[in-house]
Structure 1
């Protein structure tokens, strides 16, 4: 008689998160996930069409948690550098386990946006938009306080900050977040 699993979806997501952290996206196996959950592979596919749909759900849940953390920092009465460092540490922690999926999803979004310019289809959820809005708001507060004096559009500055934080979090550069903050503070 097959095992009846209460809250199968939640169990799959929980074990999937652990497996994703351990193995990464490329080595993530739906069969191994089913074994860990002690359910049949077909049961996993009853809840998720494929590996990517499962991993995107895990990604989105974790990303929402990160965004909530970042919302809490924007109104705190701390220096701009501390806020940027907090955002960086959150991104770094997130990307440590979700880098492959993050780049797959954001690359896919760029393709959808490019196609959108030639049609009037609905756009799909933009993963980065909430992060951009939070950083925009932080920049505006610090522009108002005269902590930022550079004459640059807020969204351009946001894009510059986020893209550099993502690059630094990949650890493929000789620079650190402290180097970046030093350059930033001395130029802003």
Structure 2
């Protein structure tokens, strides 16, 4: 009788995270992941075709968690600049402590599922998700139902600034005057 497996995918992700912390990316392989999960190697391959695919899903899960924290934490303040600082801080944490650490310590090999064009598509998708968060904040701040093309452009610029500077150690104070000017521009155009 076949073994009834529950939560195998979640187990694979949790075990992979733990193994990377313990032994690093270079020691990671599907066979070891399967052994730690107590499943056959083929079972892991039923869910993931490579360790890179597992890492990519872990990173996406971290990104989704960050987006939920942004939604939750921006509810607790009324000032738009404070909300943008929350987005910046969450992005900064993700870029430095999640994304940056993983790729600095555990570079992913260039494989078919991790090729440059797919990574660029993913980057655009993630940037658009941040732009949508900023647009939602701006729309509620300016009490708008529909965004003008100028508003969409300004939100896109704000998102680019937040993302670009979140990779650096400069801090929010460096970009705050520019963001305030852009927010001021929004209130004069709408």
**Number of residues paired by the alignment?**
164
Structure 2 unpaired stretches of 5+: 109-113, 185-190
**1:181 aligns with one of 176, 182, 187:** 176
Give the equivalent residue in structure 2 for 1:158: 155
Structure 1 unpaired stretches of 5+: 113-124, 146-150
Take 1:156 and 1:74, find their aligned partners in 2: how far apart are those partners? Answer: 22
Task: Compute the displacement of 1:105 (Å).
Answer: 8.7
Secondary structure of the residue aligned to 1:158 is: helix
Take 2:22 and 2:50, find their aligned partners in 1: how far apart are those partners? Answer: 19
Give the equivalent residue in structure 2 for 1:98: 99
Take 2:47 and 2:9, find their aligned partners in 1: how far apart are those partners? Answer: 7
Q: Are 2:85 and 2:172, in contact at CA under 8 Å, matched by a contact in 1?
A: yes
Q: Are 1:88 and 1:165, in contact at CA under 8 Å, matched by a contact in 2?
A: yes
Task: Compute the displacement of 1:167 (Å).
Answer: 2.1
Q: Residues 22-65 of structure 1: CA distance to partner in whole angstroms, max 9, x if unpaired?
A: 788x7472255445445554443232111232123222222222
Take 1:21 and 1:163, find their aligned partners in 2: how far apart are those partners? Answer: 31
Q: Would the alpha carbon gap of residues 183 and 130 (structure 1) be closer, same or farther in structure 2, given more than 3 Å must change?
A: closer
State the TM-score, normalizing by the size of structure 2.
Answer: 0.64
Secondary structure of the residue aligned to 1:126 is: helix
Q: Would the alpha carbon gap of residues 67 and 23 (structure 1) be closer, same or farther in structure 2, given more than 3 Å must change?
A: farther
Take 1:178 and 1:28, find their aligned partners in 2: how far apart are those partners? Answer: 40
Give RMSD over aligned pairs.
Answer: 3.8
Q: Are 2:20 and 2:28, in contact at CA under 8 Å, matched by a contact in 1?
A: no
